[in-house]
Structure 1
Amino acid sequence: MDGIDVAVGDFARDDDGAIRLRPVRHAAVEYPADLRSALVDALPPNGCTAERLCVLDTGVGQAFARAAAGMAEGADLVASLGQTIYHWVEGARCRGTLQLGRSAWIAEATGLPVVSDLRARDVAAGGHGAPLAPVLDRLLLGAPDVPTAALNLGGIANVTILRPDAPAVAFDTGPANALLDAAARALLGTDQDSGGALAARGRVRDDLLAVLRADPYYAADPPKSTGKEHYNAGYLGETLGRLPVVADADVMATLVALTATTVADACRRFGVRRVLASGGGVRNPVLMAALADALAPATLTTTDELGMPTDAKEAYLAALLGYLAWHGMPVDPGTGAAGPRVHGTITPGAGPLRLPEPAARAATGLRITVPEPTGGPRARR
């Protein structure tokens, strides 16, 4: 809920079945302050009425529409992951997931068809609907020579783990920024601990870290998913209430350690030797340093080295999912669904809906084409 990530990508299919992506431009658009505040206030453990949900859905849809319209010049299609407001998990099963931001607002503002509601089909087919990043990760990374993890550090951290001669595994590892941001709001009155400044002044409280790491979610087997329904201000307050007073800086330092160690534990379980990170958490140098230490001897870099901007990966994931749905190409994110499905619902734009002929074969890879300094193209995979 930090803002709206928007990316424009030019997609094509090569003769060998690989999809080619040329990143065109991307931006982060802020939510109106009152809307962002209202979204945060609607998260559990707070209540949310049907009226409030309707108002928020409309507000998010209109904000998405403005953001898309500002970037849509030359585009043929818009894809939207929506704003998750509730992810319903009971035990090992995801029962439902709800994203706000009705696609009709985007279609009206841009005149373009919109692919949206990208998680629901996976849930209906028995999956968790999250993370969806494995769709991009598996195509981009292919079959790596060593066990490799693509790590996204959003509110929740998730990994796609790819190993030679083994099926891909994808799941949420636990909180990334969710508890850090909840603590920043409670302790600093700000949306985040910018640059990890407060965390850098603290020390890890082993007693607090032990209580946090005792959460049974971390030991559960994948596929699994979680969200701010579980890791929120109420959860943090209840945990802190069970311990002697913890200094503010120590709270932040310990939450950084929680994210770093739970991500590292998840990667170590699968023998990961290389981690490629993306998402908003990459901008926190204290978190990245803690991750590097916890993951060692595995190496930690970012998706920038593959030509995928770290800040825009999730937006490009949405674009890729939209492209695949538009061309009738089923995918399986690997979150437990009963096989590949075409994900998403299509809302017509200003004119009649005219879909292309479905692709004859599944995608075999993803190549990112970025400009050389001299203007010539190069492809990364």
Structure 2
Amino acid sequence: MPGLYIGLMSGTSLDGIDGVLADFSQDKVAILGHASAPIAPDLRAELLALNTPGPNELHRAALGGNALARAYADVVHSLLERSGTPASAVRAIGAHGQTVRHRPQEFDGTGYTLQLNNPSLLAERTGIAVVADFRSRDVAAGGQGAPLVPAFHQGLFGRPDETVLVLNIGGISNLSVLGADGSVAGFDCGPGNALMDHWCQLHTGQAFDKNGAWAARGRVLPDLLVTLLQEPFLRQPPPKSTGRDLFNPAWLAGKLAAHASARPVDVQATLTELTASACATSASSYGKNSKLLAVCGGGALNTHLMRRLQALLPGASVVPTDALGLPALQVEAAAFAWLARQTVRGQTGSLQSVTGAQGARVLGAVYPA
């Protein structure tokens, strides 16, 4: 069976699509190629809008899934072209889709998670089998459906002589605790880039705060930070997961109601501190005194955020995952290539210790080429 898989990821931050061509033939991942592409502004706006109830949702969601699948296909073609790899050499594509609702265990006890995608269209456009809908089976088994990356992190970054923490900061942040004894835990910490990106877009017109430079010019507002940190999710014990269903512009507007005179740059500084504080508290509370925190996702490129994490975790070395052998922007896409491989091989991709499901499950559905 070919060992080549493609992983695609468009995270909660909606800052773009990352794709990797991964070789698992030696049972360890080797990245043969990486490609990325921005999400077109009109599609990004529509995907953001579909995170909240609105008119004609079913129609808009279906067309949004089509548009995203076409954008995914473009990234796949770019990967194949750059690496000189024929489509026939790739066993499958792991395509997570774009999460627009994530409400596990709510409403009827099972709840649901919804990722927009059209894996059939992606299979048609690429001529490669597609594995998609990774989260639903774990939710059906009573789990959170997220995070799904800790098992991959363990194989990639786990060490027998020390506990390693892997922090993914996308739109939402999630932590993997890779114990020196082989144990694995993981959960969502809270907001990552989502609120910072929203506020930056609103007040500067830029999609994100490059290097955290804008936030670094502001000052943290202590009263506002206390208000933000009072969110019950942040104190909830694992297993837990979250998304834009909670940490969204409406949530932020409610928290800012008593701080109408605050300077936008100071709010940005405080939102950055919220992410840093939530992540650092999670690492301190559940990190088994680890001395190493490896950061991936777009947040790893936020220099100011990384400095704040280091300041809040003085006993640990805070580094991007590049220092451990895999660039920060490739980790999640590589994880979904691995998850696709697990599905194709009929092997479990989830961990009961992470999601709280009734047991590990084979995740995803396969759409043949």
TM-score by length of 2: 0.88
Structure 2: gaps spanning 5 or more residues: 1-13
Is the alpha carbon distance of 1:187 and 1:236 closer, same or farther for their aligned partners in structure 2, counting shifts above 3 Å?
same
Aligned match for 2:149, one of 126, 133, 138: 133
- How do 1:15-164 and structure 2 match up within 5 A? 19-44=27-52, 49-72=57-80, 73-74=85-86, 75-89=90-104, 95-164=111-180
Per-residue displacement from partner, 1:170-226 (whole Å, max 9, x unpaired)?
100000101101111222222112221210110000000000000011110001000
Per-residue displacement from partner, 1:76-118 (whole Å, max 9, x unpaired)?
3211111111111457977211111111111111111111111
Is the alpha carbon distance of 1:144 and 1:302 closer, same or farther for their aligned partners in structure 2, counting shifts above 3 Å?
farther
CA–CA distance in structure 2, aligned partners of residues 328 and 267 of structure 1? 33
Aligned match for 2:311, one of 252, 268, 293: 293
1:237 aligns with 2:237: no
CA–CA distance in structure 1, aligned partners of residues 312 and 292 of structure 2? 13
Is the alpha carbon distance of 1:216 and 1:204 closer, same or farther for their aligned partners in structure 2, counting shifts above 3 Å?
same
- The residue that corresponds to 1:180 in the other structure is 196
2:144 is paired with a residue of what secondary structure?
Answer: coil
For the 8 Å contact 1:61–1:102, the answer to whether it is kept is yes
- How do 1:338-349 and structure 2 match up within 5 A? 338-349=358-369
Is the alpha carbon distance of 1:142 and 1:48 closer, same or farther for their aligned partners in structure 2, counting shifts above 3 Å?
farther
- The residue that corresponds to 2:10 in the other structure is none
For the 8 Å contact 1:68–1:106, the answer to whether it is kept is no
- The residue that corresponds to 1:370 in the other structure is none
1:322 aligns with 2:322: no
* Further displaced range: 300-309 or 197-206: 300-309
- How do 1:256-275 and structure 2 match up within 5 A? 256-270=272-286, 271-275=289-293
Amino acid aligned to 1:84? T
Aligned match for 1:307, one of 302, 307, 325: 325
* Further displaced range: 279-288 or 333-342: 333-342
Percent of counterpart pairs with the same letter? 36
1:222 aligns with 2:235: no
- The residue that corresponds to 2:206 in the other structure is 190
Amino acid aligned to 1:252? Q
- The residue that corresponds to 2:11 in the other structure is none
Per-residue displacement from partner, 1:231-270 (whole Å, max 9, x unpaired)?
1111111111123521111001101111111111111112
For the 8 Å contact 1:161–1:168, the answer to whether it is kept is yes
Amino acid aligned to 1:63? A
Task: Identify, as 1 or 2, the structure richer in helix.
Answer: 2
Q: Could you tell me how far 1:164 is from its partner in structure 2?
A: 3.3
Structure 1: gaps spanning 5 or more residues: 14-18, 350-381
CA–CA distance in structure 2, aligned partners of residues 112 and 187 of structure 1? 42
For the 8 Å contact 2:113–2:135, the answer to whether it is kept is yes
CA–CA distance in structure 2, aligned partners of residues 337 and 48 of structure 1? 33
TM-score by length of 1: 0.86
Aligned match for 1:11, one of 18, 24, 45: 24
2:112 is paired with a residue of what secondary structure?
Answer: strand
CA–CA distance in structure 2, aligned partners of residues 260 and 48 of structure 1? 37
Name the count of aligned residue pairs.
Answer: 344
Aligned-residue RMSD, C-alpha: 1.9
* Further displaced range: 57-66 or 139-148: 139-148
1:237 is paired with a residue of what secondary structure?
Answer: helix
CA–CA distance in structure 1, aligned partners of residues 235 and 295 of structure 2? 22
For the 8 Å contact 1:64–1:101, the answer to whether it is kept is no
* Further displaced range: 173-182 or 22-31: 22-31
1:330 is paired with a residue of what secondary structure?
Answer: coil
Is the alpha carbon distance of 1:335 and 1:47 closer, same or farther for their aligned partners in structure 2, counting shifts above 3 Å?
farther
- The residue that corresponds to 1:355 in the other structure is none
For the 8 Å contact 1:42–1:48, the answer to whether it is kept is no
CA–CA distance in structure 1, aligned partners of residues 115 and 246 of structure 2? 17
Q: Could you tell me how far 1:121 is from its partner in structure 2?
A: 1.2
1:12 is paired with a residue of what secondary structure?
Answer: coil
CA–CA distance in structure 2, aligned partners of residues 114 and 206 of structure 1? 47
For the 8 Å contact 2:158–2:179, the answer to whether it is kept is no
Is the alpha carbon distance of 1:175 and 1:45 closer, same or farther for their aligned partners in structure 2, counting shifts above 3 Å?
farther
- How do 1:361-376 and structure 2 match up within 5 A? none
CA–CA distance in structure 1, aligned partners of residues 182 and 210 of structure 2? 39
Amino acid aligned to 2:58? A
For the 8 Å contact 1:5–1:26, the answer to whether it is kept is yes
Q: Could you tell me how far 1:5 is from its partner in structure 2?
A: 0.7
- The residue that corresponds to 2:227 in the other structure is 211
- The residue that corresponds to 1:374 in the other structure is none
